[in-house]
Amino acid sequence: MNVFRLVGDLSHLLAIIMLLKKIWSSRSCAGISGKSQLLFALVFTTRYLDLFTSFISVYNTSMKVIYILCAYATVYLIYVKFKATYDHNHDTFRAEFLVVPVGGLAFLVNHDFTPLEILWTFSIYLESVAIMPQLFMISKTGEAESITSHYLFCLGGYRALYIINWLYRFYSEGFFDLIAIVAGCVQTILYCDFFYLYITKVIYGQKLSLPA
Amino acid sequence: HVNEDMHDEL
């Protein structure tokens, strides 16, 4: 474990908790893409199937459990509890256009052709594009609440920190996982446009508005 | 080496 990965994980955890609290306290999921949250729940489910078979550390196991519980709780709040506030008209990104190609790629490019490894690879590829419905929704509505922007900043920042973690691990212990690195770079690049707007706008207290 | 057998990252 290194500081980049630890801060990255905490940023990820903060993002997940922040979104859950926002939906819960405002009792509304307006402006939130349910599809992205469904994709994140799928990402955690397919990535952490080894939760019961391999033990890395208390930290690793407890974070996996927290991520999975929060992901399903968020999906539950969006699609069940506060379903009436879910914005169907703007959450229209065709998620199947992400899941199907990513599923095919996971079969073609992976480290090991075993069910657990293919599902892990699927999860890595899917996570890199899972935010697209949310970014698409913001570009359609033309704006995002500031809390949603903070959520996206933490979420985007976590994988950017992971890239630094991978650089650190490569030079300090010769570890590298090309699949995770390439997917992580794609994921972080998708946030660049948002990062620019966040830094130039939200920090100064303006509302974030993506070019529609 | 590529350590893909045991994914130790979240």
What pLDDT, in 10s, does the model give residues A88-140?
Answer: 999 999 999 999 999 999 999 999 999 999 999 999 999 999 999 999 999 99
Contact present, A181 and A163 (Cβ < 8 Å): yes
- How many domains does the structure of chain A reveal? 1
Q: Mind listing the pLDDT tens digit for each residue in A46-102?
A: 999 999 889 999 999 999 999 999 999 999 999 999 999 999 999 999 999 999 999
Alpha-carbon gap: B6 to the closest alpha carbon of chain A (Å): 8
Q: Is A180 inside a domain boundary?
A: yes
C-alpha torsion sign, points A40, B6, A125, A186: positive
Boundaries of domain holding A70:
3-204
Is the residue at A129 inside a domain?
yes
d(CA A201, CA A32): 20
B2: nearest CB among A5, A12, A176: A176
Residue A210 in any domain: the answer is no
DSSP three-state, residue A144: strand
Cα–chain center distance at A146: 18
B9 contacts A111? CB cut-off 8 A: no
**ipTM of the complex, rounded to two decimals:** 0.88
